[in-house]
Amino acid sequence: MKNGGLDMNLLDALSRRAEAFIDSFRREQVPPGGIFAAIKRDIHDYIDANYRGPIPGEVVKQVYNEILTAALSVVRPLKVVYMGPEGTYSNQATMEFFGATVESVPMRTISDVFHDVEAGKADFGVVPVENSNEGAVTYTLDELIETDLQIVAEKYTRISCSVLSKDGSLESVGKLYTHPQPLGQCKGWLRKNLPNAEICIVESTSRAAEIASVEKGAAAIGSSAAAGIYGLNVLADHVEDSRQNYTRFFIIGRDRTKPTGKDKTSIVFSIKDRPGALFDVLSHFKNTGINMTKIESRPDKKKMWEYNFFIDFMGHREDTKVGEVLVKIKSDAIFLKVLGSYPVAN
């Protein structure tokens, strides 16, 4: 039933909220890298602290995401690129972070995402960086070393995998198409339920679904959204081995973010080949009381048997203590690069 007074008050409040967003973006001369993520994080924190139902708080957050994205588009049209095609988990993360109304364009590879943002063809890119079960996405780490782009935000997305096929039962599946990441996340379930299926590796979950949509006796591991896009049946849902299965995504852009008071910084560095070199770098975090949240090593592609170290830690590059640590690391390291400071994701 309609409730004229209530609906009118709601529409009026939404209009005033959108106008306030627009004013904020105009004052900041959009797009400074972190203003979108910072406002979004503050709103989500406020909803978590104050919203009392009855519908889920995540639904309310999505409403705010759509208003925020639409307000930004009034000031300047916003274009986001992600590793496609449509229906990938990167597509899911993009819609969750920016809202469904943003202009989002799928790219063929992670490298293409970086290239389009670097070239100014897109405002932001969304790339996977690590999975809670399978670890780092090395393609993204390698691109971060080479690019001049900045990490402007992070997004954690719950990954739920499904088995998709044109056929109607698991018994008919003779071949399974999948990307390596979801394959690793579902290997226990597959051993038990599809032990005889031939495993075929492809470049994305959406490509897997696309092949399964035209090949008889084939199935794919992908998102339930991909089933609708490619006209597939969901033969089994939630086939990931762990329910705590999340992928962390970076939102990359051309501008640095401003401090919000609740930030994280990512760096990459290489060190001299001597005893205790890594310990010396890590001790700077302990001595200054800065919490290091992640460390990852990758082979240096330019020098055999040498490594680059990726570290995430709490704080913003403009914080006094963080600045002091970066100076000390630079004196110990052969190479140091700040990949970005950005609001901590909820």
Active site residues: 247, 249
Cβ 178 vs Cβ 200: under 8 Å: yes
For the chain, the three-class secondary structure string (H helix, E strand, C coil) is CCCHHHHHHHHHHHHHHHHHHHHHHHHCCCCCCCHHHHHHHHHHHHHHHHCCCCCCHHHHHHHHHHHHHHHHHHHCCCEEEEECCCCCHHHHHHHHHHCCCCEEEEECCHHHHHHHHHCCCCCEEEEEEEECCCEECHHHHHHHHHCCCEEEEEEEEECCCEEEECCCCHHHCCEEEECHHHHHHCHHHHHHHCCCCEEEECCCHHHHHHHHCCCCCEEEEECHHHHHHHCCEEEECCCCCCCCCEEEEEEEECCCCCCCCCEEEEEEEEECCCCCHHHHHHHHHHHHCCCEEEEEEEECCCCCCCEEEEEEEECCCCCHHHHHHHHHHHHHEEEEEEEEEEECCC
Beta bridge partners of 313: 265, 292
Beta strands 218-222 and 246-253, pairing class: unpaired
